[in-house]
Amino acid sequence: MSDTVIKVENLSKAYQIGQIGTGTVSRDIERFVRTRVLGKEDPFLKIGEANDRSKKGSSDIVWSLRDINFEINQGDAVGIIGKNGAGKSTLLKLLSRVTSPTTGQIGVKGRIASLLEVGTGFHPELTGRENIYLNGAILGMRKKEITRKLDEIIDFSGVERYIDTPVKRYSSGMYVRLAFAVAAHLESEILIVDEVLAVGDAEFQKKCLGKMGDISKGQGRTILFVSHNMAAVQNLCSRGIVLKNGAMSFDGNVDMAVGDYLKQSISSGIIDHNVTRVGNGAIRLREIAVYGSDRHIKPQTGQPFTMEFSFDNPNFVDIGDLGFDVRIDDYLGQRIAWFSNTILPSSRTGTVESLRFMIEKLSLNDGLYYVTIQATVQKQVADWIQNVYSFEVSEGDFFGSGKRVPSAQSKVVMDFTVK
Amino acid sequence: MDPKPNEEQWDLVIKGHSSLFDLKFADVWRYRDLLGMFVKRDFISFYKQTILGPLWFFIQPIFTTLVFTFIFGNLAGIQTDGLPQPLFYLCGITAWNYFSDCLTKTSTVFRDNANIFGKVYFPRLIMPLSIVVSNLVRFGVQLSLLAVMMAYYAIAKPGSFEISGALLLFPLLILLMAALGLGAGLIITAMTTKYRDLTFLVTFGVQLLMYGTTVIYPLSEAKSKFSEYAWIIEMNPMTGIIEAFRYAFLGQGNFTLASIGYSAIVTLVVLFAGVVIFNKTERNFVDTI
């Protein structure tokens, strides 16, 4: 099928940042006179720069999205990924008509249902059943449509017992289940989902993903899915669009899109000269690089992994005299793994200025990790720096099954078989 | 939009600018179930967890009538066109309340619903429309209070008032009040997304406006006492409506086709301007609120 259902052309969205208040009236009048009366270009739109929040800009207009072009075909499942502030949410807001673009346009065939949040418009005083109707109507369902699907919705939500209780008495999990159940039963041709899976327990998340997979693969409907959960994106989508600072940086196969995204998040590891360190300085660490399958790719569970340490070796210490220990802790400070060049059988000699620790298949689960190093020369501490570097591991398909070990369950992933 | 030849036909085109008069009424009609749902929600959430429940609808007009009767009727001695004072005030208050509720509640639509508007699309006009309809329920309940009062006076003091044939205009009067309140509210809510100042104006502005409308005095009284300034009161579109309302129910009031026609024209202009401005603001208000 190659029916285009969404066509985005030159789509841009500018935002004014900073205070809106004093001077608004005079600026509004100025804009109006310039554009409408004198017929000039809108000064509001002329200035502006890419949206990079870490740099200080010179104007208070930013382009949250700039010149986005893409087409989506009937039945596609497209993942939209990018760092915080890359423009993902803005794109979804434009697609779901919550706000309108500054320039460009979007053509849509069929009904769009967007889930930027679960439970939009739920009223705490109303019962579960009443809220199903209210929320369904807000999302664009007709009353009889909801009535027809009511049993199915209640069944999917799993809160049948409380369906006639006001939702303010619900636990947050029940609330979310009910809300997602309504949304999952929308009969729209295009479904837009934003990170809603970050809620609910693991079992329900699985159910949601399953339902979404069913919607896209089973029913041939189009899905746009925004998430930071790379494993979920890779599992659900066949195509990925990567946004970076408001522009499209990649569009294509989902695995390559994820790679492109991970590439963006690598950080330089030059050791700060005023870092707290202990040791006689016989050798001193200069730079660390931690990366995945190649130098530009962020570590990912189940993928190749490398930690590279470069150091100053002014006295030409021989590797035989050098002990280089690396410890990895998780973000809570729990010790997870330890490596050292001394525990491997080695007959290597000669002076060195860098060491690379390589793992074929990374068994760290997704999350943030800290590196502590200790270098000894002839058993004397030469350089010892705690938590010198941090790196992030992204979700990956360790088992080749599209499923992953929940990071809340374990920090490590091991190969295993079940018989 | 005029599609070029060979261009694909889209069900929906989202773009930055659209015609000022693209009012999306078809969309509003498609979402009519939602309107009903909002009305039901407002009604249920109003009396849930209260002891007196819907009785609260009565308490406000009863007390206002008592206070008005005492202060304006007795203390200030303002004439009431020969009508029993409580009846005169209650009639004015009931009509005025409906208008002012419509105005004040719709005037905060964007601010009150910023969260839901920021998350999901539905024709925004549904929200203010549902407020107008919800208030209609309340108005109906209060109208029954007026009916009870009229029945009491009809028995206790026969001939103190008479229902006139203008009662047939009653649906039109409701429509005018709703439309005027809605239109003005829409204009205010659209402006308050950027300029919050107007919110402060609305609360006491509506109160002041009541004194500029013939709620606590009849137009005839204003004309006889301040003949050179009475035109200001006549310019107020609500004056014509309230006077007609009172004439319809109680048989006294300055009811002419010219005055009601004037009110109707002003109402239409305000409503149209309100809807246009509202629709224009609705497109981008999420960014400024």
Work out the average pLDDT over A68-87: 87
A345 with A253, same domain: the answer is: no
B225 domain-assigned: yes
Does the CB of B41 have a partner CB in chain A at under 8 Å? yes
Residue A165 tokens read as 């209780």
Is the pLDDT assigned to residue A85 strictly greater than 80? Answer: no
Same domain, yes or no, for A166 and A74? Answer: yes
Backbone angles phi, psi at B119, to 5 degrees: -115, -25
Mean pLDDT of B128-135: 93
- pLDDT of residue A79 exceeding 60, the answer is yes
Between residues A272 and A413, the one the model is more confident about:
A413
Number of domains chain A is built from: 2
ipTM of the complex: 0.81
The answer to whether position A294 is within a domain reads: yes
Give the global pTM: 0.73
A103 touches chain B (CB under 8 A): yes
Instruction: Please report the pLDDT score of residue A219 as a whole number.
Output: 80
State the best of B13, B37, B117, B280 to mutate against chain A, taking most chain A CBs within 10 Å: B37
Residue B273 forms part of a structural domain? yes
- Report pLDDT for A297: 86
* CATH code of the domain covering residue A150: 3.40.50.300
Contacts of B40 in chain A (CB under 8 A): 130
Residue B2 lies in a domain: no
In this structure, is residue B67 part of a structural domain?
yes
Please check whether residue A411 lies inside any domain of the structure: no
Are A93 and A202 in the same domain? yes
Tell me the pLDDT tens digit for each residue of A288-328.
Answer: 989 988 888 889 999 999 999 999 888 888 888 899 999 99
Task: Give me the total of CB pairs closer than 8 Å, taking one residue from chain A and one from chain B.
Answer: 109
**What is the structure's pLDDT at A71?**
92
What is the distance between the alpha carbons of residues B174 and A267, in angstroms, rounded to a whole number?
66
What residues make up the domain containing B36? 28-288
User: A203 with A328, same domain?
Assistant: no
Same domain, A226 and A319: no
Same domain, A234 and A344: no
B117–A98 C-beta distance less than 8 A: yes
Give Dmax over CA atoms of chain B in angstroms: 78
Burial class (CB in 10 A: 0-12, 13-18, 19+), B120: buried
In a domain, A38, yes or no: no
Sheet containing strand B12-15, strands side by side:
A49-50, A61-73, A4-16, A103-108, B12-15
Q: Please report the pLDDT score of residue B6 as a whole number.
A: 42
* CB-CB under 8 Å, B40 with A130: yes
- Give A1's pLDDT tier (boundaries 50, 70, 90): very low
Please provide the size of chain B in residues.
Answer: 289
pLDDT band at B112 (very low <50, low <70, confident <90, very high): confident
A275 part of a folded domain = no
Q: Per-residue pLDDT tens for B179-210?
A: 999 999 999 998 888 777 777 888 889 989 99
* Neighbour order of strands in the sheet with A112-115: A112-115, A190-194, A222-226, A77-81, A239-244, A247-253
Q: Which of A294-298, A327-331, B27-31, B91-95 has the highest mean pLDDT?
A: B91-95
A222 and A295 in a single domain? The answer is: no
Q: Which amino acid is at A291?
A: Y
Instruction: Tell me: do A194 and A303 sit in the same domain.
Output: no
Residue A144 lies in a domain: yes
Q: Is residue B8 part of a domain?
A: no
- Separation between Cα atoms, residue A233 and residue A80, nearest integer Å: 8
Q: Look at residue B168 and tell me if it is in a domain.
A: yes
A245 and A119 within one domain = yes
Contact A262, A300 (CB under 8 A): yes
Assess whether A189 and A240 both reside in one domain.
Answer: yes
Q: What pairs with residue A6 in β-bridges?
A: A72, A108
Question: In the structure, what pLDDT confidence band is assigned to residue A87 with cuts at 50, 70 and 90?
Answer: confident
Distance, in Å, from the CA atom of A374 to the CA atom of A377, rounded to the nearest integer, reads: 10
Asked if the C-beta of A99 comes within 8 angstroms of chain B's C-beta atoms, the answer is yes
Task: Give the residue with greater pLDDT, A370 vs B8.
Answer: A370
What integer pLDDT is reported at residue B1 of this predicted model?
Answer: 40
Q: Choose, out of A27, A98, A108, the residue to mutate when testing the contact with B (most B CBs < 10 Å).
A: A98
User: Based on the structure, what is the number of domains in chain B?
Assistant: 1
Burial class (CB in 10 A: 0-12, 13-18, 19+), A146: buried
| Closest residue on chain A to B45 (Cα) | A125
**Residue numbers in A near B194 (CB within 8 A):** 20, 24, 28
B15: chain A residues, CB-CB within 8 Å: 100-101, 104-106
pLDDT (0 to 100) of residue A47: 46
Cβ neighbours of B44 in A, within 8 Å = 125-126, 130
Contacts of B284 in chain A (CB under 8 A): 99-100
Which of B54, B65, B219, B82 lies closest to B146 in space, CA to CA?
A: B65
Percent over 70 (pLDDT), chain B: 94
What DSSP character marks residue A127? Answer: B
pLDDT more than 90, % of chain A:
20
List the domain range (segments joined by +) for residue A293.
284-393
Domain CATH code at residue A304: 2.70.50.60
Q: What is the pLDDT of residues A176-213, one digit of tens each?
A: 888 888 888 887 888 888 876 556 667 777 777 788 88
Q: What is the mean pLDDT of residues A122-138?
A: 89
Residues A183 and A316 in one domain: no
Nearest C-alpha in B relative to A12: B16
Q: Return the pLDDT at B2.
A: 42
Residue A125 has pLDDT above 90, yes or no: no
Do A189 and A338 fall within a single domain?
no
Residue A414 pLDDT: 92
Query: Does residue A363 sit within a domain?
Result: yes
